[in-house]
Amino acid sequence: MGRQTFEQQLQKLQEDVLVLGSMVEDALMEAVAALKRRDLEASRRLILADQIINERRFAIEAECLTLIATQQPLAGDLRTIAAVLEIATELERIGDYAKGIARISLMIGTGPLVKPLIDIPRMAEKARDMLHRALEAFIRRDAAAARAIPEEDNELDALYNQVYRELLTYIIADPRTIDGATHLLWVAHNLERTGDRVTNICERVIFTVTGEMTELDVKEEGLCGAS
C-alpha cells in the first residue's frame, strides 16, 4: 500500500521546479540576447516577467508547506521537500540576476557598447547549461552529476576574469568608457553569481540523495572569490 496522492503531489512539486527552472533559464538567455541586440523593449518585458517567476516561487513554497503540514513527510520525502524549498529560492535569485541584466541594458540605453559581446554570451550559455543539468540531476537523483557540475564553475569564473581584464584595458585606454565598462562588468558579475547559485542547487541534490550536507564551493583564489 503506497501513498498515491502524496506521491502525485511530490511528483507535481518537482515538475513545478522544472517549469520554474526553464523560465529562469529562458530569462537569463533572453536578458543577454536583448542586451546584445540593444532591444530595450525586450529588456522591459523581462523586468516585468520577473514578477511571474517570483509568484511561481511563492506558489512552490506554499505547496511545500502544505505537504509538510498535511502529509508529515519523513526521510527521503522530507529531504526532497526541504531541497525544493531551497532550490526554488536559488532559482528565484537567478531570475533576479536576469532582471538585473535587463535593468543594466536599460541603463546603457541605445548607445553603442564599449566592446562587442563575445565572452558574456558564452558565460550565459555556460551558466544556463550548468543550471539545466543541475535540475536534471535533481529529478534523476544523480548525486555523481551534482558533484561534477560545480567543478565547471571554474570555467565561468575564468570567463569572468577574462571579461574583467579586457574591460580594464578599455578603461585604461579611454577613461570615458568607465561607465559602459562598469555596466558590462555588472552583467558578467550576475552571470558569475549564477554559477554559485547552481553550486548551491547541486549541494541540495546531494542532500536529497544521500542526506549529507556537503559544501561544493571549489572556487579557486582570484577576482570572483571576492564577490
Partner 1 sequence: MSPDGSGKMERMDLAQQRTTPAVAERTKIRVEHLNFYYRSQPALFDVSVDILDRQITALIGPSGCGKSTFLRCLNRMNDTIPGTRVEGRILLDGRDIYAPGTDVVELRRRVGMVFQRPNPFPQSIFDNVAFGPRVLGLARGRELEDIVEESLRQAGLWEEVKDNLREDALNLALGQQQRLCIARAIAVRPEVILMDEPCSALDPIATLGIEELMRQLREHYCIVVVTHNMQQAARVSDWTGFFWLGRLVEFGSTQTLFTRPSQGLTEDYITGRAG
For partner 1, the binding residues (CB under 8 A) are 1-3, 6, 72-79, 210-211
Measured from the CB atom, the residue of 3 and 37 that comes closer to partner 1 is 3
Least distance CB 18 / partner 1 (angstroms): 22
Least distance CB 57 / partner 1 (angstroms): 25
Half-sphere exposure in the Cβ direction for 202 (13 Å, CA): 26
Measured from the CB atom, the residue of 51 and 210 that comes closer to partner 1 is 210
> Counting beta carbons within 10 angstroms of the beta carbon of residue 213, is it exposed (0 to 12), middle (13 to 18) or buried (19 or more)?
exposed
CA 182, CA 104: separation in Å to the nearest integer?
10
Q: Is 109 left (phi over 0), alpha (psi -120 to 50) or beta?
A: left
Measured from the CB atom, the residue of 8 and 51 that comes closer to partner 1 is 8
How far, in whole angstroms, is CA 142 from its chain's centroid? 19
Measured from the CB atom, the residue of 2 and 116 that comes closer to partner 1 is 2
Least distance CB 195 / partner 1 (angstroms): 28
CA triple 33-158-192, angle to 5 deg:
50
Measured from the CB atom, the residue of 76 and 222 that comes closer to partner 1 is 76
Q: Which of 144, 133, 130 is nearest to 193 (CA)?
A: 130
Q: What is the grid cell recorded at 73?
A: 513527510
Least distance CB 210 / partner 1 (angstroms): 8
Least distance CB 143 / partner 1 (angstroms): 13
